[in-house]
Structure 1
Amino acid sequence: MLKFALLGASALALVATPLAAQTAPSFDPARLSRHVQTISADSYEGRAPATRGETMTVEYLTRAFRDAGLQPGGEMIDGKRQWTQRVPLLKSDIVGAPQLSLTTAGGPLALTQGEQISVRAPTNGQQSVRLSNAPLLFAGYGVAAPERGWDDFKGQDVKGKILVVLINDPDFETGQGDFGGKAMTYYGRWTYKYEEAAKRGAAGVMIVHETAPASYGWATVKNSNTNTMFDIVRANPAAEHTPFESWIQRDTAVALFRAAGLDFEAAKAAARRKDFQPVDLKATLTATTDAKTETLTSDNVAGMLPGTKRPAETVIYTAHHDHIGVGAPDANGDRIFNGAVDNGTGVAHLIEQARAFARGPKPQRSVVFLSVGAEEKGLLGSEYYVANPLYPLSKTVGVLNTDSMGVWGRARDFSISGTARLELLDRLIAEAARQGRTFTPDPKPEAGGFFRSDHFPFAKAGVPAISFKPGNNLVTGGLARGEAAAADYTAKRYHQPDDEWSSEWDFSGIVEDAQLLHAVGQGLANSDAWPNWSDDSEFRSVRDGSAADRVVTKGERG
């Protein structure tokens, strides 16, 4: 068996023990199909947050969870558990074009929205941003990783400054170093760079775009960052976002560094070393940005089964129920982004997983089934849950997320989004082996897929969490058919109106995946184990910081 997390003798014993003694429950493919067909119908209008379509979806989920045998698991109102958790969202749009002036030692540099720079609408709570001659500082990769002995800031005060940082992390160029090689850590993700800058009081961030380390081109950056921005409504938004968040073209960065008497490639090479020192770029930014903001409300839907012995400890299954909604018509005039695979399939699994648990032996720990909203706006439903947990994160055993499951039949393998090293994956690998299946790692770990699904906000808070992905090595047709189907879906249906339910789909693969995920969740729900991250994980220290909350007496365990 593959020991992916490599966590020592205790973990070996943990994984070697069978996780579920009873026979795997049955899952009805016809019932799974009906759920997908229903919530991806045109009448649901693409399930965008704060729309009639989302209201219909929330009502459907509430009925489905109740019919499955769950109890309400949402927020408390007047001492009573509800089925939902309200998720307030901040919507922000730039009014007009940002007024930008970049002055260097060699003279002014042009900055036009969407061309040399992509400026995001502010989500730090401000409706206007006014920067006057804010100095620019090159901060390497913008990383502070104490567990790796890495600090790009070296004690420099960055308050009021614009940080110019590189995308990805220091190992990307060479494939080796302190960050695990090509696989992106969270330190390489653009969201981390904004968060770290805000934590240090910077005035703003310019992330230097390069296609290979970003894993997408400038068009993606432009389209993703110059439109409407969303965030959860935060108690202190300035702690998460600087006033000025942006990306700049590589050519602009080269010119900026040249004007300061620096070679961009040499500066990048220096940033790959631990002894890197921040560099004054001898330039300033003056910026004026106005925004129109409003608050919308989305919903998470939660059902739960209380544990018989340790109800305060929870195992959570998640899936997002939202999609893109109604947009511009495609070549066929279709404007509804139905989101059948993404993520009608994950929602269908969540409902039927709940049914399987409710009809089986009562678990010793509580099991929560959480359908989150606003994933397509930036994982915001799960982000809000983590900021306002319904159940303590320190006593959340693990999170199993499903996002876009396989509709092409059974597979000989399975995968997860991105790369992670944790005992939760070891458990999945062990259970899959009992099905005669193997684990296939993400083929492009440098793209940072781990950070793009709803398990990630939990991981960032230290909770062991993964997002399950179906395998491509299909029982019928093998890897060739699986990869062809995946490529066809990505090209023709992913985030397009043609992501619609089909009567030709084969749900037998989701059935087998559901049995695998059930075995892992059941094993966790009926044990007193606390799976953890690997010692070198960027999430380990956060989890270990709450270890005292998980120490209970024998009497408390029942």
Structure 2
Amino acid sequence: MPPFPKSLRLLLCASLLSSSALAMAAAPVPTFDVARIANDIRTLASDAYEGRGPATRAEVKTIDYIAAQMQAAGLKPAGSRGSWFQDVPLRMSDIIGAPTLSMTIGGVAQALTQGNEIAVRAAETGQSAVTFADLPLVFVGYGVKAPERGWDDFKGVDLKGKIMVVLVNDPDFEGGEGDFGGKLMTYYGRWTYKYEEAARQGAAGVLVVHESEPASYGWATVKNSNTNTMFDIVRADPKAAHTQMEAWVQKDLAAKLFAASGVDFDAAKAAARRKDFRPIPLKATMSADYAVQSQIITSHNVAGMVQGSKYPNETVIYSAHWDHLGIGAPDAKGDTIYNGARDNASGTAALLELARAYAKGPKPERSVLFLAVTAEEKGLLGSEYYADNPLRPLATTAGVINMDGPFGAEKTSNFSISGAAKLDLLTLLTEEGGKLGRHYTPDARPEAGSFYRSDHFPMAKRGVPAISFNPGRELVNGGAERGKALQDAYTRDRYHQPADEYDAGWDTSSWEGDMTLLYNVGRRVADSHDWPNWSADSEFRAARDASAAQRK
């Protein structure tokens, strides 16, 4: 559904939360040290930390730094066995050497180069090699099977021994309206869903067609994110969740496949937007041959806590992912270190500064957990593992505030959250923002599916009220137009690229205000015994209500 206007959203939430509930305690608002935040970002995003890749020597350096800062702040260790760390077992997979990849298109053989026309991920099925020859390709539209919407893109097709070709995003993306809520991406639009559905359909592999607008990022991001080390949670049957080959292809290659089959690419996309779409066999086959090294490793979440003074068994969580892409393919300047300054050294720095504020200030009534999670860039794996193996019970976790790039490029007059969820935490955030002279604006790009791309999502789908903060882009100097231009430039030139580096010339005018807002909304929940919830029509409400008996 489209984003709700502010007045309607507040009216919907009013039935859940009275204006007097969760009243702000008289705790003084701390002063946040912008220079200290900048130093944490500069340190974590330096070349010495080698892009903070999980299961590398940089992980040890990174998590030790975070734990040391938590200890210096005065937090108590909240990890496993009384430590600062929670062990997170993961399957780590790498392609060994350059994969041999080719297609035969309309009878003509064409070699494919990894990272150029195609970006193939290391198999996450546990197998040691991927070898197949001349497997047929089948276009399956958006690759959606949604019985509740009366939608099935797989009508009558048997994908066993075949490679499925699929579009990214939802069927509604192009037209802006339809059975999938218009521009707001559903989980059906995420590439993770398409990989999962390919495995359920028994396909031999899946090719996602890349286009920058529906994907919400360019080919450089796809290449850099998919051609390095892959991680997954440890599964009893990994082949139930993954096919042997998962990959993206450039639009130009896809258009060539369609043309050789006598099908216009744009016409096929238009057909895929309709319920009556039927799979289209393509006059093309694919072959592949490459070795895969797969092993089970242990990465780590980092956890520190301030114990509550009145309700110590109840929890508020601040979270941020510490990892980035590590060392990868060189960019045009030869740089191989993906520093991840904004994504997400900045969120980790915000987490540490909030930890200092809570530890040194008056004790919150509820316990506050500061959680730095691993492997977000590999599919929210650290937060997914935490949600399945919580250090603090989910039923008595009052809320989660996640931070992924939490600082504005400059000072903003607004703020937002990832996605368009309706929940009491958003009401509280809106009220606290208003006290600071800032207003809530719905996600500027709901079609990007950002709700499913941040570490609050694994908690949300298990019912815990959770948001991922966005600092907004309505700049005090230049307004929304300039803010969009700066965001677009970052996405194009720096996101998931070595150029995402710390810059001493950054404008930090938004940072103290962003930190204050993050602190105030968390403190408001922490100094209360009320329980925020989702709106009555939220898909996450039932899961939360099912655990109500555990909250008193």
Normalising to structure 2: TM-score of the pair? 0.83
Partner of 2:245: 244
Q: 1:2 to 1:234 in 2, by over 3 A?
A: same
Identity within the alignment, %: 55
Aligned residue for 1:65, secondary structure, equals helix
Offset at residue 96 of structure 1 (A): 4.6
1:57-456 alignment, distance < 5 Å: 57-75=62-80, 80-99=81-100, 107=107, 110=110, 112-114=112-114, 116-131=117-132, 136-153=137-154, 158-218=159-219, 220-254=221-255, 256-257=257-258, 264-279=265-280, 285=286, 287-307=288-308, 311=312, 313-325=314-326, 338-406=339-407, 410-456=411-457
Aligned residue for 1:205, secondary structure, equals strand
Offset at residue 124 of structure 1 (A): 1.7
Partner of 2:533: 531
CA-based RMSD: 3.8
Partner of 1:35: 40
Offset at residue 73 of structure 1 (A): 1.5
Offset at residue 496 of structure 1 (A): 3.2
Offset at residue 83 of structure 1 (A): 0.8
Q: 1:311 to 1:290 in 2, by over 3 A?
A: same
Offset at residue 515 of structure 1 (A): 2.2
Alpha carbons 2:22, 2:529 under 8 Å: kept: no
Q: Structure 1 residues 467-476 or 483-492, which shifts more?
A: 483-492
Q: Structure 1 residues 413-422 or 323-332, which shifts more?
A: 323-332
Offset at residue 247 of structure 1 (A): 2.5
Partners of 2:330 and 2:285 lie apart in 1 by 43
The one-letter code of the counterpart of 2:125 is: N
The one-letter code of the counterpart of 1:548 is: A
Partners of 2:213 and 2:222 lie apart in 1 by 13
Partners of 2:492 and 2:207 lie apart in 1 by 31
Partners of 2:410 and 2:210 lie apart in 1 by 39
Partner of 2:26: 22
Q: Describe the superposition over 1:9-47 as per-residue Cα deviations: whole angstroms up to 9, x where unpaired.
A: 654644675642425521332443443344445544443
Q: 1:268 to 1:379 in 2, by over 3 A?
A: same
Tell me the matched-pair count.
544
The one-letter code of the counterpart of 1:193 is: K
Partner of 2:52: 47
Partners of 2:399 and 2:79 lie apart in 1 by 18
The one-letter code of the counterpart of 1:210 is: E
The one-letter code of the counterpart of 2:153 is: D
Aligned residue for 1:61, secondary structure, equals helix
Partners of 1:364 and 1:351 lie apart in 2 by 20
Alpha carbons 1:198, 1:242 under 8 Å: kept: yes
Partners of 2:234 and 2:248 lie apart in 1 by 24
Q: 1:175 to 1:327 in 2, by over 3 A?
A: closer
Partners of 1:31 and 1:519 lie apart in 2 by 20
Offset at residue 259 of structure 1 (A): 5.9
Matched, 1:549 2:547: yes
Normalising to structure 1: TM-score of the pair? 0.82
Partners of 1:411 and 1:136 lie apart in 2 by 48
Q: 1:182 to 1:491 in 2, by over 3 A?
A: closer
Aligned residue for 2:510, secondary structure, equals helix
Q: 1:501 to 1:285 in 2, by over 3 A?
A: closer
Offset at residue 480 of structure 1 (A): 6.9
Alpha carbons 2:137, 2:281 under 8 Å: kept: yes
Partners of 2:184 and 2:77 lie apart in 1 by 39
Alpha carbons 2:41, 2:502 under 8 Å: kept: no
Alpha carbons 1:198, 1:241 under 8 Å: kept: yes
Aligned residue for 1:299, secondary structure, equals strand
Partners of 1:133 and 1:513 lie apart in 2 by 54
Offset at residue 371 of structure 1 (A): 0.7
Offset at residue 228 of structure 1 (A): 3.6
Alpha carbons 1:113, 1:119 under 8 Å: kept: no
Offset at residue 209 of structure 1 (A): 2.9
1:507-522 alignment, distance < 5 Å: 507=508, 509-522=510-523
Q: Describe the superposition over 1:180-238 as per-residue Cα deviations: whole angstroms up to 9, x where unpaired.
A: 22232221111111022224443321223334323344454445434443334434322
Aligned residue for 2:547, secondary structure, equals helix
Q: 1:472 to 1:264 in 2, by over 3 A?
A: closer
Offset at residue 431 of structure 1 (A): 1.8
Alpha carbons 1:27, 1:514 under 8 Å: kept: no
Offset at residue 286 of structure 1 (A): 5.1
- Segments of 5+ residues of structure 2 without an aligned counterpart are none
Alpha carbons 1:42, 1:338 under 8 Å: kept: yes
Alpha carbons 1:4, 1:425 under 8 Å: kept: no
Partners of 1:259 and 1:336 lie apart in 2 by 40
- Segments of 5+ residues of structure 1 without an aligned counterpart are none
Alpha carbons 2:398, 2:465 under 8 Å: kept: yes
Offset at residue 438 of structure 1 (A): 0.9
Partners of 2:19 and 2:188 lie apart in 1 by 29
